[in-house]
Amino acid sequence: MKLFGMQQSRSFRCLWALEEAGIEYEYIPVKLRTDSGDPDSAKNPRYLALNVQGKVPTLVDGDLVLTESVAILHYIGRCAPESGLLPNASMAMYAKLDEMIAFVLAELEQPLWSKGKHMFALPEEHRIPQMFDTAKFEFAKAINALEHLLSGEEYAIANSFTIADILLAQTFNWAIRFEFDVPEKYAELRDRHYARPAAKRAMTVIEE
Ligand SMILES: N[C@@H](CCC(=O)N[C@@H](CS)C(=O)NCC(=O)O)C(=O)O
């Protein structure tokens, strides 16, 4: 498998999952803010042929090309069932996993991405700095809702480490880096999961 990614962006969750799964892979760093003439740029036509939005991550496995991080997490989990990244659980437990993943993407991550878009990702003329306060407000609301979704045990779902834990930990890492107010227990959740050997190995890959 080949994973195209950029540092601690959303591609990191896929890199981490590959390390948890013990799958052989090649990691190809992509540059997001260079122009199309740069062969490593996400705007280069060769990369755009794989990922039409010029975003990361992209996973290539033979003829299969995937460009959504959560689809990639599911694929990695299915390729390595013994990893437990997708739990061997009841229908109801699986539904809770899907719920948590949808919540992280639709509610918890959105304010972070709003801030990112209005800080650096959008063309300057479309950036609205007042969005920062709105993002902070929405993140706090999502944190309150999360209290009701998490059982308070060690893992998000099924008493074992799954792709939902990777998503939660990476999203809190993102929130901390973007200076959102992250309650201590979620900062601890981030620290605990980032201390896993697979997360540390993934971190060394992006630091190379
Ligand atoms: N829904 C996509 C979002 C991918 C995405 O927006 N990636 C960001 C980095 S975290 C990106 O490549 N942004 C480039 C840009 O906006 O120009 C996923 O989860 O994979």
Distance 152 CA to ligand 1 centre (A): 30
Q: Domain 91-196, CATH 1.20.1050.10 — does that match?
A: yes
C-alpha–C-alpha distance, residues 164 and 27, integer Å: 22
Give the per-residue SS3 of the chain.
CEEEECCCCCHHHHHHHHHHHCCCCEEEECECCCCCCCCCECCCHHHHCCCCCCCCCEEEECCEEECCHHHHHHHHHHHCHHHCCCCCCCHHHHHHHHHHHHHHHHHHHHHHHHHHHHHHHCCHHHCCCCHHHHHHHHHHHHHHHHHHHCCCCCCCCCCCCCHHHHHHHHHHHHHHHCCCCCCHHHHHHHHHHHCCHHHHHHHHHHHC
Which pLDDT belongs to residue 118? 95
Which pLDDT belongs to residue 33? 85
For residue range 25-83, list pLDDT tens digits in order. 999 999 998 999 999 999 999 999 999 999 999 999 999 999 999 999 999 999 999 99
CA 94 to chain CA mean position, Å: 19
Whole-number mean pLDDT of the chain?
96
Q: Domain 2-85, CATH 3.40.50.150 — does that match?
A: no
User: Which atom of ligand 1 is nearest to 6's Cα?
Assistant: 9
For residue range 90-130, list pLDDT tens digits in order. 999 999 999 999 999 999 999 999 999 999 999 999 999 99
For residue range 155-190, list pLDDT tens digits in order. 999 889 999 999 999 999 999 999 999 999 999 999
C-alpha–C-alpha distance, residues 10 and 19, integer Å: 15
Question: Domain boundaries in the chain?
Answer: 2-85, 91-196
Q: Which residue has the higher pLDDT, 68 or 88?
A: 68
Domain 2-85 shares a fold with domain 91-196: no
Q: Which residue's CA is the closest to the ligand 1 atom numbered 6?
A: 55
CA dihedral 81, 103, 186, 179 (to 10 degrees): 120
Amino acid, single-letter form, for residue 157: I
Distance 23 CA to ligand 1 centre (A): 23
Q: Is 149 in the pocket of ligand 1 (CB under 6 A)?
A: no
User: Which atom of ligand 1 is nearest to 68's Cα?
Assistant: 20
